[in-house]
Structure 1
Amino acid sequence: MAIMRIFIGNLFILIFISVFSLLFMEMTKELSSVQSFHHVLEESVALEDVRLSSNSLILDRHGNAISDVFTSENRISLPFEKIPTSVVNAFVAAEDQSFYEHPGFDLSGIARAFMVNVQSGSIEQGGSTITQQLARNLYLSHSQNYERKLSELLYSYQIERDFSKEEIMELYINSVYFSNGVYGIEAAANYYFGLSAQDLSLAQIAFLCAVPNNPSHYNPLTGKEAVHERKAWILQKMYEQGFLENDELETALEEEIVLHTFVKKDQYPDYVTYVLYELEQLISHEEGYAQRLRTSGNNEERADITASLKARVQEVLASGITIETALVPEIQAHTVSTVNDHLSHTDTQGAVSVIDHHSSEIVAITGGTSYNKFDFHRGFQAFRQPGSAIKPLLVFAPFLEETNAGINSIIDASPIKRGSYEPQNFGGAVYGKVPLEAAFKHSYNTAAVRILDMVGVEESFSYLNNFDFSRVTSEDQRLPAALGGFSMGMSVNEMTQAYTVFAAKGIYTPPKAIQTVKNAEGDILFKWAETSKEVWNEETINKMNKMLEKVTSEGTGRAARFNTQGYIGGKTGTTNDFQDLWFIGSSSQYTAGVWIGKDEPASLYRESENNLHTNLWREIMKGFH
């Protein structure tokens, strides 16, 4: 009964193909009828836009790959003109010798398959052309039943009407499966030999082209002997079809095949995680998502916009982009190892951002000790109170800009009370009239609050709003902000970005990790627009830099100083109960910020006494100066 059912099914297919072919051959005689058939076919077989995913790359500043970005499908798409001719010939010889003549299906191939299937009593052979295989890969399932087979024929015919033979071959070679999650000849060449397809030998091409016929059986990693047998068969078919000379055949048969299996590049997880976050921000800014989020009316709408943005980012990543970054591998590796050396043996966490303030580029960033990609990233996702590290930005620079005071101007550091708010100095110390420089380098809290009160909270915040503090709100505009009292706080990356203004003569240019995002053809898709703004005048900056330098030579940041030619200056920050330790400062070339704390805030009194934050900053900076 089963054999009879298979016989009838195969016979039905043969009859269908015969009728279909007669209609095709008679199209010039029955043009109107055929047009009607095509119209019906187009309505029944809608070929959607074909978008094959392709691997993306992240590069360091020297153009070296640091991360391959792909998920379940490892694919590197090639345009037809870059596909080696021998690859095309191998598939034609092995899979579809009448590829350039048939209209999507091959009657003789189906007849051969019919005879084999009848003799075996099962569906052993499909007689599928390359076009039919493409139809399965792109639009249909790989199930073995007659309903799918009929659909395959219709799709194949429609594909041949819509695409040229070159386009069909390009799609096929880029979509066909090469086992082990690898799709397309370029990714296969890279995965199994560490080469580009254009650098493969004839023997290597035949070896790879053997795999798609049955990827599980011809798996190069587990069934190499079977692959070699089919490789020899393909070479012989290529010779019989006139694609090879005899000496080429003999040379290819004798060549030893040595695999060099691909290892996915996945370096610098701290930096790569940040780059992918910044990519989302860049696309959001360039394509209007950011504006829509700012003007959205409710949480549901914001959630929909965010979901759409994330889908768009995945679409871009699947298109085979190259992300060029500012990463300096040596600085990143040194920064990560230094943080781990100081903190990994404890339950204390830390994060660092290093910025080249001449180019406004983030050259290194860490996410925490022993960081794994896509973990919670303390460099840009941890928002903590900044303590006194906020004073240069919110208090002293605005004061100098507004009053034109000198660094030796006298300021009142005596106790101050405004309503119920009565700030204290470290250790409860009481001071009187002191030079502005002394109040700064020794971080007197009472002086900072009085200065903010004098300048005006709103006025001082108008300067702070020039920077990229994402969690600062109008609720933060109150006197405790002078000492770092914010409702949500800042990340170490945001603080370090802001501090670059002191090294850039008062001009703030938002530092970025991404230089350009290019498509597979090398055209720029996305690039941050250059935006700079003057926050403070050069005279104010000169005064600030003198005071920041005094912090490292005479003040609270002395442990951060090290022997180097050029400038060293910065500011410490400590929050209530020593829960957060900060040091942010600059050399002549780089601005770096260090944050140390615990994920569940707890006292770091001993670490503060031992100057852990300033020592860590010093050791990091010494490594590349």
Structure 2
Amino acid sequence: MDKKSQRPRPYQTQNRDQGPNHSKPKNKKKKKFNAKKMIFGIVIAGLLGVICAVGLYIAIMLNGARLLEANSDKFDMAQATKIYDRDEQEVTMLYDQNREVVAESEIPDLLKKAFVATEDRRFYTHQGVDLWSIGRALVKDVVARSAVEGGSTITQQLAKNILYQNPDKTIFRKATEASMAMALEKENTKDQIITNYLNRIYFAHGAYGVKAASKLYFGKSDLNDLNLEEIATLAALAKAPNTYSPIKNPEKSKQRRAVVLQLMKEEGYITPEQQKAATDAELVLSQDKSKREFMTYIDYVVNEAETVYGIKEEELISGGFSVYTTMNKNAQTVMEQAYANDKLFQKDAKDGTKIQSSMVILDNEDGGVVAIIGGRDYKTKDYNRATSPLQPGSAFKPIAVYAEALENKGYNPYSMLSDEKQCFGKYCPNNYNNQYEGQVSMLDAIKKSKNIAAVSVLNDIGITNGMKMSEKLGIPLDPTNDRNLSIALGGLTNGATPVQMASAYSVFASGGMQHTTHAIIKIVDSKGETVKEFKTKPKQVLKQSTAYYLTKMLQSVVEPGGTGTRAKMDRPVAGKTGSTGLTQQGYTKFDSNVWFVGYTPQWTAAVWEGFDKIDLKNGHYVTVGSGNTAAIFKEVMTKAMANMKKLDFERPKGVEDLKEPPKGITDLAVNYTLETRSVDLTWSAVPQSTAYMVYRKSYSEDDFALIGTVDSPAFNDIAITPGDTYLYYVIPVQGDAQGEKSNVAEIKIPVDGQEGTPPPDVGPTDPTAPPDENGESPEQSPNPGGGDHDGGQGGGNGPNSNSGNGGGNGPNSNSGHGGGNGKNPTAPPGVKGEEDHAGTDGVG
């Protein structure tokens, strides 16, 4: 073929189409001119196209670089924060996005190849944008279950993940993604890009990043432990996480897994044999870990991180911190299991409402929160009853009354306290079941939860001093509204939280040393640097002797005859019950809430039970008594401490064990002698007693009065009136210690010279007899309303507070009838001794 025949078709077409006038010279010249012009135009257009393309490329690259810089803050991925227990074992995680970032070296090659084969087979050859894939995507959509990938590269998907959080698709956004993808490729290696990609993408069920997904689905933290079928399952999720979830849609997941394995084989990453084995394999999933555990503890940690260390919740849950706590995982687990057991609690109310409860355990060694629960069926950010103020009842007596009496006012466990029915100004408290013994030792007053004794002591030591001691032990009171005697029985304006109560009792357990309550030991950032750490030092707030004597007395509470025997464990325990009785007519034998606060040498715990709001109509009140909280204490503490050593409460060096006072007299007898017109009292001598205090009252008198002190077991009473009937009792004395009261002996004095005789059928009376036949104390009793029933003392603003009898009469009142005995061990009830005086805030 000659050169003439090879001319371009356009010229041939033009010659053919010139028509009949082609022979005219003028027209021929014009056509030649147009051809040159066209060629020139094409050249110019081509040049302009090249310039535009180059300009567009430069613009894209510049825009990509600008986007990278503008979004640099988004490159730091939100990471889950890990929570560790006291043994530095991971127990749970905090996250907005459940993500754990892994380094490039931690990702096995086969895992990377699985995603490359599935999502972007030309990943290692393109520069961020795969034009071939884009073209194919525009021509034809992916055939269902086919091996054809979409138009976006892995780099583009990464750019999209960084730039946008929603799946909207627009031309502008696709162009922006492409621009940033090219910039990413310029600034990063391929391994850096795919590592970032695998750390960011979503894998369903709240898992972000390949490590979180591996732990969720297979329970594997080390990605190198993943087998081929597990790798393929993870790669299958990239296309549609929820659709191909092996938990939600196991069959669809298996089908998509087969596609991934086929693609991996086609790329030469696995052999046909490996493909078949992994396709046929039965996938073994980890147990579902989606349920968040230890929610009260987590909320407590989050709150402490913000209020104490200034780390806001948003920062904490996304910063990839490691938070080391004082949690004992076993104790927390045991507590939550107990609170899921309905049998441990009062039956549901008439309308089906569950009675509520909360509990906290503290470590006596450093104040660490061992375990905590804010309520039954507690959920994240729920109302936390462990940190909410509630009326503490008699559990407050050791805090506001007895600690101060021992610490600064010269009392000891065997000091005798008034236990006679009496009023203090306008405040007239009652003992449970209106049982009174006249006098009781401080030990017995605590053991039996005597209300009158506690109020009498507070009246003696001064309300202000009791309030100061409460604040010293970590429970500040309202300076105006709480300035009354009802605080002796836990009638508080604002109440006290279970955490505060446990913290205060922990001081008794730790020899008077006060530790700051805390859950966080230290906080380590994602780079491994400790950024916050607990460093508060403990301080001595009570004498060791005060703490020791309180502990000895509180130990008696769980012994027979005490109000908290249901808390007795197979190891030394001390504690105190508490309850707040209802005041409404017909309901006074029930309570609004009940407590037990107790401790072993290692741990202190507080348990509260009650309804958030009292509703008498629907049965929203407590019928089981504080013995039930004692039982919950025992249930949790026994199991939580099962593997811990059984330690004793040790007596501090330099602190003497007080000698137990002489035993009480049980054979007091009275006889009227006509010749001397007097009453002779006789009794058996009490070993080691140095004196005997004789008390008497007539039927016409309200209270017993001391009528004499002798050093031998006999007394002659001549100050008698014919026709009157007299009652006597004797208290043995050993040094400063007083023994228990004797039986009460009664005699009627004759009028006409007849010999006096005791009333018929009246034997010795034991005023300390237990309240019921089986010797079970009120708070042990299974009968409804069992408890120490602190009456309607005080008000309170808590959700279950009730109006009460009100407080005392303000400061500077004088002590009157029924005043306390102070430091004078020989002062009779209601008779002020030399050093027996009401405090400056006393109420007469």
Q: Flag the 1:265–1:472 CA change in 2: closer, same or farther, 3 A.
A: farther
Q: Could you tell me how far apart the structure 2 residues matched to 1:267 and 1:106 are?
A: 41
* Structure-2 residue corresponding to 1:570: 575
Distance 1:180 1:142 in 2: 18
Residues 566, 631 of structure 2: 8 Å contact kept: yes
- Structure 1 letter corresponding to 2:129: F
Q: What residue is the counterpart of 1:290 in the other structure?
A: none
Matched-pair contact (CA < 8 Å) for 2:593–2:610: yes
Deviations 1:255-296 (A, max 9, x none): 344323344436785x43233223222332112xxxxxxxxx
Q: Report the CA distance between 1:502 and its aligned residue.
A: 0.9
Q: Which secondary structure state, in structure 1, belongs to the residue aligned with residue 101 of structure 2?
A: coil
* From 557, 563, 566, the counterpart of 1:557: 563
- Residue by residue over 1:6-25, the C-alpha shift from the partner in whole angstroms, topping out at 9 and shown as x without a partner, is xxxxxxxxx99986863598
Does residue 613 in structure 1 map to residue 629 in structure 2? yes
2:299 is matched with: 276
- For 1:482-497, list aligned pairs within 5 A: 482-497=488-503
> For each residue in 1:320-358, what CA deviation from the matched residue of structure 2 results, as whole angstroms up to 9, or x when unmatched?
444444444544454455553221634343333233323
1:224 corresponds to which of 229, 253, 263: 253
1:356 partnered with 2:380: no
Greater CA radius of gyration, 1 or 2? 2
* Preserved CA contact (<8 Å) 1:386 1:574: yes
Q: Which amino acid aligns with 2:578?
A: G
Q: CA deviation at 1:571?
A: 1.5
Is 1:200 the equivalent of 2:226?
A: yes
Q: 1:191 to 1:544 in 2, by over 3 A?
A: closer
Please give the alpha-carbon distance, in whole angstroms, between the structure 2 residues aligned to 1:211 and 1:19.
43
Confirm or deny that 1:589 pairs with 2:602.
yes
Any conservation in 2 of the 1:380–1:493 contact (CA below 8 Å)? Answer: yes
| Pairwise CA distance, 1:108 | 4.3
User: How far 1:533 moved relative to its partner?
Assistant: 1.6
Aligned to 2:383: 376
3-state SS of the aligned residue for 1:541? helix
Deviation at 1:389, TM superposition (A): 0.7
The amino acid of 1:313's aligned partner reads E
Report if aligned partners of 2:569, 2:634 keep a CA contact under 8 Å in 1: no
Equivalent residue, structure 2, for 1:420: 426
Question: Judging changes above 3 Å, is the alpha-carbon distance between structure 1 residues 582 and 510 closer, same or farther for their aligned structure 2 residues?
Answer: same
In structure 2, the CA distance between the partners of 1:580 and 1:112, relative to structure 1 (3 Å rule), is closer
After TM superposition, give the deviation of residue 499 of structure 1 in Å: 0.7
Using structure 1 for the length normalisation, give the TM-score. 0.78
Q: Is the 8 A contact 2:67 2:180 kept in 1?
A: no
In the alignment, is the contact (CA less than 8 A) between 1:59 and 1:322 conserved in 2? yes
> What is the letter of the counterpart of residue 289 of structure 2?
K
Per the alignment, residue 47 of structure 1 pairs with 71
| Residue in 2 that maps onto 1:77 | 101
Aligned to 1:553, the other structure's residue is in SS state: coil
SS at 1:213's partner residue? Answer: coil
Number of aligned positions between the proteins: 565
1:527-570 deviation line (CA, Å, top 9, x unaligned): 433331211011111221122123333654252363635x3222
Question: Which residue type is aligned with residue 200 of structure 1?
Answer: L
* TM-score normalised to structure 2 length: 0.59
* Aligned residue number for residue 160 of structure 2: 136
Question: What's the Cα RMSD here?
Answer: 3.9
Q: Do 2:84 and 2:325's aligned partners in 1 also have CA atoms closer than 8 Å? A: yes
1:436-457 deviation digits (Å, cap 9, x = unpaired) = 3333333333332333343333
| 1:402 to partner: Cα distance | 1.1
> Residues 407 and 401 (structure 1 numbering): CA distance in 2 closer, same or farther, change over 3 Å?
same
> How much does 1:125 deviate?
7.6
Contact 2:233 2:253 in 1 (8 A): no
Structure 1 residues 18 and 413, CA, compared in 2 at 3 Å: closer, same or farther?
Answer: farther
Contact 1:65/1:265 (<8 A) preserved:
no
Partner SS, residue 491 of structure 2: coil
Q: Which moved more, 1:197-206 or 1:426-435?
A: 426-435
Partner of 1:11: none
Q: Note if contact 1:353-1:362 (Cα within 8 Å) is conserved in structure 2.
A: yes
CA offsets 1:97-131 (integer angstroms, 9 cap, x no match)? 5545654324444444455579xxxxx98632222
Structure with a larger share of its residues in helix: 1
Distance 1:45 1:205 in 2: 34
| Cα distance in 2 for residues equivalent to 1:564 and 1:553 | 12
Give the SS at the match of 1:105: coil
* Letter of the structure 2 residue corresponding to residue 75 of structure 1: R
Aligned mates of 1:193, 1:16 — CA distance in 2 = 57
User: Distance between the aligned counterparts of 2:531 and 2:281, measured in 1?
Assistant: 40
Aligned partner of 2:485: which letter?
L
In 2, Cα distance between equivalents of 1:606 and 1:205: 58
Aligned residue in 2 for 1:150: 175
Does 2:247 align with 1:235? Answer: no
Match of 1:265 in 2: 289
Q: Please point out which of 200, 205, 219 is paired with 1:175.
A: 200
For the residue of structure 2 that corresponds to 1:234, the secondary structure is: helix
- Structure 2: stretches of 5+ with no match in the other structure: 1-46, 143-147, 350-354, 583-590, 643-844
TM-superposition CA deviations, 1:344-400 (whole Å, max 9, x none): 63434333323332353333333344555554333333x321111111111111121
2:347 is matched with which residue? 345
Superposition deviation, residue 604 in structure 1: 6.1
Cα distance between partner residues in 1 of 2:120 and 2:570: 70
Output the CA distance in 2 between the equivalents of 1:470 and 1:159: 59
Q: 2:396 matched to which residue of 1?
A: 390
Question: What corresponds to 1:254 in structure 2?
Answer: 277
| CA gap 1:344/1:328 in 2 versus in 1, 3 angstroms | farther
Residues 268, 38 of structure 1: CA spacing in aligned structure 2 closer, same or farther, 3 A cutoff? closer
How far is the alpha carbon of 1:586 from its aligned partner?
1.9
Moved more, 486-495 or 441-450: 441-450
Structure 2 Cα separation of the partners of residues 551 and 442 of structure 1: 7
